[in-house]
Amino acid sequence: MHLKERYDIAVIGGGIVGLASAYKIQLKYPNLKIIIIEKENRLAAHQTGNNSGVIHSGLYYKPGSDKAKNCVDGRKQLVAFATKYGVKHEVCGKVVTAVDKSELLYLDKIFENGKANNTEGIEKITANQLREIEPYVEGIAGIWVPCTGIIDFIGATNKLGELIQAIQPKSKIVLGEKVEACEHVGDESLVVTSKDKYTAKHVIFCGGLQADRLAKQDGVKLKERVVAFRGDYYNLTEMAKTKVKHLIYPVPNPNFPFLGVHFTRMVNGDVECGPNAVLTFKREGYGKTDFNVKDTLNALSYLGTWNLLCKHTGFAINEYRRTFSKKRFLETLQRLIPSLTMQDIMPGRSGVRAMLLNADGSMQDDFKIIYHNRSLHVLNAPSPAATSCLAIGDKICDMATVYFNLG
């Protein structure tokens, strides 16, 4: 190993939040030399590249929260960015569908949330209007959300990387190197990877599924812990795709921190159904039986995991049953589109999402970014972080300006 060129800022993590943050800083301070270090051999290899590809509208998040503000701002920025730079996307709209009367009260709450968050164009729709928009969906009421879209998040991430290096050719993206240590010496930080060492004045950690481990490695006294949930998808067959015109979402159960199984048109023409949500025994494991001893012990030795499972035992059991049963998965999909059959769906891919879990079993509800030891740590950036990435990048740029004395 040898010391390479010194950088002004090192960004750890090559997902879309890391790249958007580096991009916003590079735009504002074009003379800075930034290095982005990603342990996989490509950018957007984990949460960014394995999510549902949705540009979220801002409908669900608590008014005034960082999620709400950054989602609406980030969505507008992301659509403008994709349009300007030719990233594949479409603002296709979605319906949120109530299928029984017990869901109407929460449907109203979501609608009021959307209005408070300035989600433009949303409107309540009747069963007849719902049928006009999505002929195969059977519901009693819904919300039409015209500003929801779909996008190629991997393409967006790669484009951000290209633009960073176009602004400052001395900035660099390093792939296939895992960060093993970060040592602060004098007024510089030494980032040690599996292959080399890099010196930077400041470090920004955007580690996603590894955020808590990187934070502890850097001396952050973190009470919470990242717990990973895998989500499995099915794809509609060519014939069944015609039953989905836009995006179709259920009314989410307010007791659970997930949006429920939904239908998503993808930019490549596929239609995905999912995801479910099961505790995974490998943080970066996408197979149903993937297992890692360290990750499993990390999750099961944490009181927060057990408190979460105790609070939602029935939900957890049902999610696991659905994971291994195509019939149970289909029954969930048939709540929205009753005419679907076993022949209409085929197993698809999986994604893993990182949730920062408190010891009492509650999930950290909002984005969480802290300053520590001359570094910034993105500790919690679940959905809608990909949609919000450019707004989060603005926030991180502002924080870096203050804490790193860039101005």
Q: What is the pLDDT of residues 350-402, one digit of tens each?
A: 999 999 999 999 999 899 999 998 899 999 999 999 999 999 999 999 999 99
Does the pLDDT value for residue 255 go beyond 80?
A: no
Q: Are 71 and 285 in contact (CB under 8 A)?
A: no
Which tokens in the block code for residue 205? 């950690």
Q: pLDDT tens for residues 316-342? A: 888 888 888 999 999 999 999 999 999
Domain boundaries, the chain: 7-48+154-223+365-403, 225-234+275-363
Peptide bond into 254 cis (omega under 30): no
User: Which residues, 6+ apart, have CB-to-CB distance to 76 below 8 Å?
Assistant: none
* Separation CA 31–CA 242 (nearest Å): 51
Q: pLDDT tens for residues 38-76? A: 999 999 999 999 999 999 999 999 999 999 999 999 999
Regarding predicted confidence, which is higher, 35 or 363?
A: 35
- Mean pLDDT, residues 228-236: 95
User: Which residues, 6+ apart, have CB-to-CB distance to 407 below 8 Å?
Assistant: 401
In this prediction, residue 314 carries a pLDDT of: 85
Residue 269: exposure state from Cβ atoms within 10 A (0-12, 13-18, ≥19): exposed
In this prediction, residue 4 carries a pLDDT of: 63
Does the pLDDT value for residue 1 go beyond 60?
A: no
The CATH label, of 1.10.10.10, 3.50.50.60, 3.30.450.40, 2.40.40.20, for the domain at 7-48+154-223+365-403 is 3.50.50.60
Q: pLDDT tens for residues 108-154? A: 999 999 999 999 999 999 999 999 999 999 999 999 999 999 999 99
Question: What are the Cα distances from residue 252, in Å, to 19, 50, 60, 96, 174?
Answer: 31, 21, 9, 9, 40
Which tokens in the block code for residue 238? 């060519």
- Strand partners for 227: 355
DSSP code for 159 = H
